[in-house]
Amino acid sequence: MGTLNPISDGDDERTELQRLIRRLDPDPENAWQKYRDLRERLVKFFQWNQSQDPEESADEVLDRVGRKPDEEEIRNVAEFVIGVARNVLREGYKKSQRESHIDGWEGGGESLAEPRDREEEIVSGLDHHTRLEALRRCLEDLKPEERSLAIDYYSAVEEKQKEHRRKLAAAAGVTMITLRVRANRLRDRLENCVDNGLHARRSQARPLDT
Amino acid sequence: MTNNGGLMRRYLLGTATEAERIAVENDYLANGEAFHQLKAAENDLIDSYARGELAIAEKEAFEKRYLTSPPVSTRTSAQGRSRVKFASVLREITKEAALSPSPKEAGILEKLLAMFRAASVSPKWRLAAACAIVLVGGLISLKVLSHRGGGPSEASRHPDRQQSNHPGPAEHANEPGAGTESGTPQIVARNDEPAAHDFTAQLEPDAARAVGSGLQTLAAPSHTAWLNLGVVVDEDEARPLAAVVETPEGNQVFRTDRGELTTSQRGRVLHVRVPAARIPAGDYILEVKANDETVASCSFRLAYK
């Protein structure tokens, strides 16, 4: 992509990252945004493909793309990333198959997590109210028009959802797709806000380790 | 792909064919809009699961894909559970806000009950009124339950969240100017009932308030779900009335044309039910409009205690 200065031998992680960034866009600001977007998509790709560690796998893809020497031209970064992502996914499957085989002999590693999951579920049942209060607080932090959109968009039951959202889009003077993307960005913000609020609360409640 | 809801759902549930899966992935890894559409479809899927709207096969696929550990990692399944919980609370809050019960519905029921109670009515009419009460009550309940997306099981899961559909007369109204200090906010209503989710207050129109009497303040309990606000309107106003709540900057946060008019010693009062989720603590103006002409305006400060 464009003219790139060759990177000298002895590349470290930083130079790999710099190389990747430059491959994404010649403008550094755009490139960082593209990097964040790409990483987000890769994390979801691995999540949707039931990878054991989506974040780590996404970083592995980006590392590999960054490690590719400048001399080897990448005509289409997106296509190249997709190919690398599929390779990492396949390797992950093979690795987890091997591990589950070994776990099977040892009594199953993941299955040990189940009793803790059940306990977690009981505890989480108790924090429904806390979560509700956290969401109320997060809604309060939104601008009035954002709050209205979040509430209106998600208030319809499934069978009336399409018509309801069509009316909302018409009222806002935007397409259904634009409205959907806006509402989901708001939802992401709210979900992160609730998670952060709960995390902060748990951190405060947890006694300090001595 | 972005317009193919069925394909996106199959991909998310892991039931898409290999060719479909590759096509979807090529699309969203290269195209930001396709990615956001897929994320939105995932949120809709999680909402549908939280509402119990998925077909059995889809429900099983969803649980396998998002909640069960294994096949997904413990961390992924914990994230899945967290997202379902978020969808549940989002649903609860949006229902509270969207479910604006019509005071007219409650009014019909009350009129029928009054008819039933009337001693002068013949047994035949009493029987007819009883049938009508059962029918109207049933229809209202069905409407409320369908609005909540649940049934009796939903109601019993959250018995503490049941709403009153009868916004009665203002219970905590102060007389104008009582106990006020010039220039300081005046607390006009407080409802400290721990079990109540409704908070009722009567607002004084700005025009009727003494200059420098300060902003009227509503101190609602933090668990309030609904604000029942009453505003005195002109005796002669015969046009249909709408109520609008705005911020001082002019941002509309709530509007309804479903207020209920009652007559009290203070004159005609318009009662409106406002979901608390719509108006967080802050300063607001409630305007009563007839054909978009403002006929009453009340400034107030809302606080949650």
ipTM score: 0.71
Q: What's the confidence (pLDDT) of residue A18?
A: 78
Q: What's the confidence (pLDDT) of residue A39?
A: 92
Q: What's the confidence (pLDDT) of residue B248?
A: 81
pLDDT-derived band at B305, boundaries 50, 70, 90: confident
The answer, for B78 touching chain A at a CB cutoff of 8 Å, is yes
Structure tokens at B36: 């956001």
Q: What is the pLDDT of residues B50-98, one digit of tens each?
A: 888 889 999 989 988 888 766 666 777 777 878 888 888 888 888 777 6
Q: What is the pLDDT of residues B25-60, one digit of tens each?
A: 999 998 888 999 999 999 989 988 888 888 999 998
In our burial notation (b when 16+ CB lie closer than 10 A, e otherwise), range B102-130 reads bbebbebbeebeebbeeeeeeeeeeeebe
Instruction: List chain A residues with CB under 8 Å of B74.
Output: 110, 113, 117
* Candidate from A132, A161, A185 with C-beta closest to B89: A132
Between residues B226 and B162, the one the model is more confident about: B226
Between residues B167 and B12, the one the model is more confident about: B12
Section B240-248 average pLDDT? 86
Between residues B100 and B297, the one the model is more confident about: B297
* Candidate from B94, B146, B253 with C-beta closest to A154: B94
Close Cβ partners of A105 (under 8 Å, ≥ 6 residues apart): none
The answer, for B86 touching chain A at a CB cutoff of 8 Å, is yes
Separation CA B38–CA B28 (nearest Å)? 8
Taking the CA atoms of B149, B152, B156 and B161 in sequence, report the sign of the dihedral they define: positive
Residues 11-70 of B with CB under 8 A from A: 11-12, 14, 25-26, 28-30, 32-33, 35-40, 43-44, 47-48, 51, 53, 65, 69-70
Q: What's the confidence (pLDDT) of residue A187?
A: 93
Between residues B197 and B174, the one the model is more confident about: B197
Q: What's the confidence (pLDDT) of residue B132?
A: 56
- If DSSP codes are grouped into helix, strand and coil, which group holds residue B199? strand
What value does the mean pLDDT of chain B take?
71
pLDDT per residue rounded down to tens, chain A (210 residues): 433 444 444 456 667 777 778 778 888 888 888 888 999 999 999 999 988 888 999 999 988 888 876 666 666 777 888 999 999 999 988 877 766 554 444 444 443 344 455 555 555 555 778 888 889 889 988 888 888 888 888 887 666 778 888 888 898 888 888 898 899 999 999 999 998 888 887 777 655 544
* Candidate from A82, A111, A185 with C-beta closest to B29: A82
Q: Phi/psi at A48 (nearest 5 deg)?
A: -65, -20
pTM for this model (two decimals): 0.53
Strands B282-290 and B241-246 turn out to be antiparallel
Cβ contact B212:B185 at 8 Å: no
Instruction: List chain A residues with CB under 8 Å of B13.
Output: none
Percentage above 90 pLDDT, chain B: 13
Instruction: List chain A residues with CB under 8 Å of B247.
Output: 144
* Total Cβ atoms within 10 A of residue A69: 10
